[in-house]
Amino acid sequence: MINSGTAPPEKMMFQLSLRRRGISDRNVLQAMESVPRDRFVDPMHRPNAWRDTALPIPCGQTLSQPFVIAYMTEQLQIQPTNRVLEIGTGSGYHAAVLSRLASSVVTVERFRTLVNAARTRLRELNYANVEVLLADGLALPDGQGTFDRILVTVAVPELPQSLLDLLDPGGVLIAPIGPANGRQTLVRVQRKDDELIRRPLVDVRFVAALRGIAREL
């Protein structure tokens, strides 16, 4: 964990804010602290990178506020041997956080611009256990296998069966469920034997999931 005596003030406040808002998993806190959030946004937004606020990224998307990222990650309860699927790469920041906790991460994005930028950032920062795919996150190409954990970072009107089918026994899926312009609820689903145990968590607001690969951008 970063030594608070040497961390800059904004980084210290970032760490303190997560703890004050209830993030208690030490591994999640360490992962959040270790990933340089300022490297995942445009230079003009870097002064605000460590604040607990969402930030704009290209293609009309956003980088979620740190608390939401930490909360979703904590609810996944990732184990070191887990293989994780993320739907909605965005800047690649959340994938980088997940990579500090899991064995490997596959992250999927429909915008080519975001895919190329995320691949470059993750390679430069040496997050070697992250694979970035250009694909429709709700209709993955064959051959991806199944996953211990699935994280959906775009809003869907209902839980996609295509993703539930990729969830291993004992696996956990987190997704925001609800209309694009209305109230969404973050839902946690765990597969136990042949049963899916669904539990609502908190209200959230995410951009809506879109089908297919974007023709432009």
Q: Which residue among 4, 34, 64, 104 is the active-site one?
A: 64
Can 34 be counted among the known catalytic residues?
A: no
| Two tokens, residue 60 | 């009309």
| Two tokens, residue 88 | 């909605």
Q: Does the residue 125 lie in any domain?
A: yes
Q: Does the residue 26 lie in any domain?
A: yes
Nearest CA-CA partner of 99 in 150, 192, 35, 12:
35
Q: Does the residue 169 lie in any domain?
A: yes
Q: Is the pLDDT of residue 148 over 60?
A: yes
Q: What is d(CA 177, CA 7) in angstroms, rounded to the nearest whole number?
A: 37
| pTM of this structure | 0.92
Residue 95's CATH number: 3.40.50.150
The string of pLDDT tens digits covering residues 174-183 is 999 998 877 8
Q: What is the pLDDT at residue 1?
A: 41
The string of pLDDT tens digits covering residues 89-136 is 999 999 999 999 999 999 999 999 999 999 999 999 999 999 999 999
Distances (CA, A) of 212 to 78, 134, 138, 203: 29, 10, 8, 27
Contact present, 143 and 78 (Cβ < 8 Å): no
Q: Per DSSP, what are the bridge partners of residue 109?
A: 134
Q: Does the residue 37 lie in any domain?
A: yes
Q: Does the residue 1 lie in any domain?
A: no
Sequence letter at residue 196:
L
Q: If you count them, how many residues does the chain have?
A: 217
Most confident residue range from 80-89, 134-143, 185-194: 80-89
Q: What is the pLDDT at residue 74?
A: 98
The string of pLDDT tens digits covering residues 26-56 is 999 999 999 999 999 999 999 899 999 999 9
Q: Structurally, how many domains does the chain consist of? A: 1
Mean per-residue pLDDT, 184-201:
94
Range of the domain at 17: 9-204
Contact present, 30 and 101 (Cβ < 8 Å): no
Q: What is the pLDDT at residue 183?
A: 84
Contact present, 95 and 173 (Cβ < 8 Å): no
Q: Does the residue 130 lie in any domain?
A: yes
pLDDT band at 157 (very low <50, low <70, confident <90, very high): very high
Q: Does the residue 47 lie in any domain?
A: yes
Judged by average pLDDT, the poorest of 12-16, 62-66, 191-195 is 12-16
Residue 215 contacts by C-beta under 8 Å, 6 or more apart in sequence?
Answer: none
Sequence letter at residue 193:
D
Q: Does the residue 161 lie in any domain?
A: yes
Distances (CA, A) of 197 to 40, 152, 191: 34, 17, 6
Q: What is the pLDDT at residue 216?
A: 60
Q: What is the pLDDT at residue 11?
A: 76
